[in-house]
Amino acid sequence: MRIVHILTALLVAMFIYAIIMEREALLAFAGATPQDAEIVEPLIPEVNPAVSVVALRSNAQPVQSGILLRGQTEAARRVDVRSETSGRVVSEPLRRGASVEAGQILCELDAGTLQSQLAEAKARQTEAEANANVATQLAERGFGAENNAISAMAGLESAKARVLSVERMMDQLIIHAPFAGILESDTTEIGSLLQPGGLCATVIALDTIKLVGYVPELDVIALEVGQRAGARLISGRQVVGQVTFISRSADPLTRTFRLEVTVDNADQSISDGQTAEIVIETAGEIAHLLPQHVLTLDNDGNLGVRVAVDDVARFVPVKIIRDALDGFWLSGLPDTVDVIVVGQEYVTDGRAITVTMQDQN
């Protein structure tokens, strides 16, 4: 029994040896070649298989953008009319809110002794003219010194200056409205004593109104004089005007720049000091309206979206122009682009993808 087992083991070992070590010799003996044998290749797993994603085809659209400010209305012109001389007011006061015309008398002061001073100055001017004429004629004929003629002419000029000075003081007794407008305060009461610099009245002009706001320094570079602007007043009324002034000097505390928008107010229905919400139009841009969730970041932290280009995922940086109810308006993309809306977080730049287009209906 042991011999049978030993022989069986030897035969099995020889068979295995022949198959493994003498395979080619056996194939040649059998009339087959190694090329005829079935070649079994090991299964190698595919490297970086394509990732299935869903993309949305987006077309760029023009979008209007603007800068929103909080501000208030201001009168286009506002002047505190003050006295240049001293005197007692002799005119009846005008009440605040009254309309005045340009040149209308607001305050009139008592002339006091100025009338007599003017009469005296004119008399001395007449006397100086006569003396100057006599001295000049005598000097021309050689009967008088030339110095006397020059002195007489100097006296004449001094007399003329005195007349002009008194007339100027007379003119200062009547204070006129510098322009047509509305009285913001009562004129000075009759009998009051006005000193030089004393307030007669405050006049404002409301035929045009200014909308005043303050622009952050990041936005001021996008603005220029002449741009269209609109505003919504606290009453809900909407008005339209143009930017007429942009400060070139920032407020040292807020780092903002004063901006003025001029609006027509011929009916004077807009008052000074009303709160206003101001919107300044900026140049329109071409942008894509995309859902918020498509935004992602690359390895450097740049904001962008992933797009499908020839079945390859690509990262494109974008800029948010403004937000909307349906997402964000984004610039920086081609006019037509396939944006990955599902699966963008599972692909990297250059990764092969299988794209399924989203139904836009």
CA torsion 71→72→76→79, rounded to 10°?
-120
355-359 contacts: CB < 8 A, separation 24 or more?
355/53, 355/54, 355/55, 355/308, 355/311, 356/52, 356/53, 356/54, 356/55, 357/54, 357/55, 357/56, 357/57, 358/54, 358/55, 358/56
* Residues in a beta bridge with 82: 199
Alpha-carbon gap, residue 44 to 48, rounded angstroms: 12
> For 282-312, how does the pLDDT look when each residue is reduced to its tens digit (9 = 90+)?
766 788 999 999 999 888 889 999 999 998 9
Sign of the Cα torsion 242, 64, 326, 328 reads negative
Say if CB 81 and CB 203 are below 8 A apart.
Answer: yes
Helix axes 146-171, 114-141, angle to 10 degrees: 160
Question: What per-residue confidence (pLDDT) applies to 158?
Answer: 87
**Dmax of the chain from CA atoms?**
184
Say if CB 233 and CB 275 are below 8 A apart.
Answer: yes
Question: What per-residue confidence (pLDDT) applies to 36?
Answer: 47
Percent of the chain exceeding pLDDT 70 equals: 87
Higher-pLDDT residue of 7 and 269 is 269
Higher-pLDDT residue of 359 and 290 is 290
Alpha-carbon gap, residue 343 to 351, rounded angstroms: 12
Q: Residue 313, class by beta-carbon neighbours within 10 Å (0-12 exposed, 13-18 middle, 19+ buried)?
A: buried
Domains located in the chain, CATH noted: 1-40 (no CATH), 52-63+286-357 (2.40.420.20), 68-74+203-284 (2.40.30.170), 111-172 (1.10.287)
Higher-pLDDT residue of 64 and 135 is 135
Q: At 216, which amino acid appears? A: P
Q: What is the pTM of this model?
A: 0.56
Tokens of 284: 């329109």
Say if CB 214 and CB 251 are below 8 A apart.
Answer: yes
> For 190-240, how does the pLDDT look when each residue is reduced to its tens digit (9 = 90+)?
999 999 999 999 999 988 999 999 998 888 888 889 888 989 998 888 999
> For 125-152, how does the pLDDT look when each residue is reduced to its tens digit (9 = 90+)?
888 888 878 778 777 777 767 777 788 7
